[in-house]
């Protein structure tokens, strides 16, 4: 089922999400719905707070090229992270990010380009990922959502002001 994605500056996006304690059917339904919702909006990642659920749950699915110029996000490629913890991060890289809660806005953001993360899968089994690619950036973006942060908060003061002004105008125009 496709769920509604909360749009910035919805106050819920500022909530600190809570740890998941039961890896049950409700969690699996949430994860399945998040995948459908993300694909329907052509996203590569989604945190559960973006569909209004303040739990430490995120998904990432980086599209693969299935034919020339044709991309797909098969469900089995989805990385489902529950209660993730960043064990270490280093390096730095500028990358143009976007967010399904701030549709149409893309800004260069600086983040670590090498991270190691512990998390639980949907069955409650502990997993580890170490990555130095786009996935590392995406994981940091989504974990920020679990802590009530969106990527535009990392912009410089001037760029943030400009964004807020333009975003207000955009929301007014519908
Ligand atoms: Co986002």
* Sequential pLDDT tens for the chain (174 residues): 999 999 999 999 999 999 999 999 999 999 999 999 999 999 999 999 999 999 999 999 999 999 998 999 999 999 999 999 999 999 999 999 999 999 999 999 999 999 999 999 999 999 999 999 999 999 999 999 999 999 999 999 999 999 999 999 999 998
| Annotated catalytic residue 142 | yes
Between the CA of 67 and the centroid of ligand 1 the distance, in Å, is: 28
Give the span between the Cα atoms of 59 and 57, in whole angstroms: 7
Taking the model in full, what pTM does it have? 0.96
Q: In which residue are the tokens 């809570």 written?
A: 18
DSSP for residue 21: -
CATH architecture of 11-173: Alpha-Beta Complex (3.90)
CA distance 26 to 20: 11
Catalytic residue among 76, 142, 164, 166: 142
Cα of 25 to ligand 1 centre, how many Å? 25
Virtual torsion, Cα 81, 145, 100, 114, nearest 10 deg: -60
CA distance 145 to 57: 10
């Amino acid at each position: 089922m496709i769920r509604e994605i909360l749009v910035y500056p919805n106050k819920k996006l500022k909530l600190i999400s809570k740890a998941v304690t039961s890896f049950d059917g409700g969690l699996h339904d949430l994860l399945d719905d998040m995948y459908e919702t993300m694909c329907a909006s052509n996203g590569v990642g989604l945190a559960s707070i973006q569909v209004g659920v303040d739990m430490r749950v995120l998904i990432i699915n980086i599209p693969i090229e299935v034919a020339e110029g044709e991309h797909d996000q098969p469900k089995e490629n989805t990385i489902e992270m529950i209660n993730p913890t960043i064990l270490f991060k280093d390096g730095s890289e500028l990358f143009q990010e976007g967010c399904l809660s701030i549709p149409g806005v893309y800004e260069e953001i600086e983040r670590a380009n090498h991270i190691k993360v512990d998390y639980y899968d949907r069955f409650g089994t502990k997993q580890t990922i170490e990555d130095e690619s786009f996935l590392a950036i995406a994981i940091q973006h989504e974990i920020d959502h679990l802590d009530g942060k969106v990527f535009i908060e990392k912009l410089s003061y001037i760029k943030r002001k400009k964004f807020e002004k333009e975003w207000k105008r955009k929301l007014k125009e519908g």
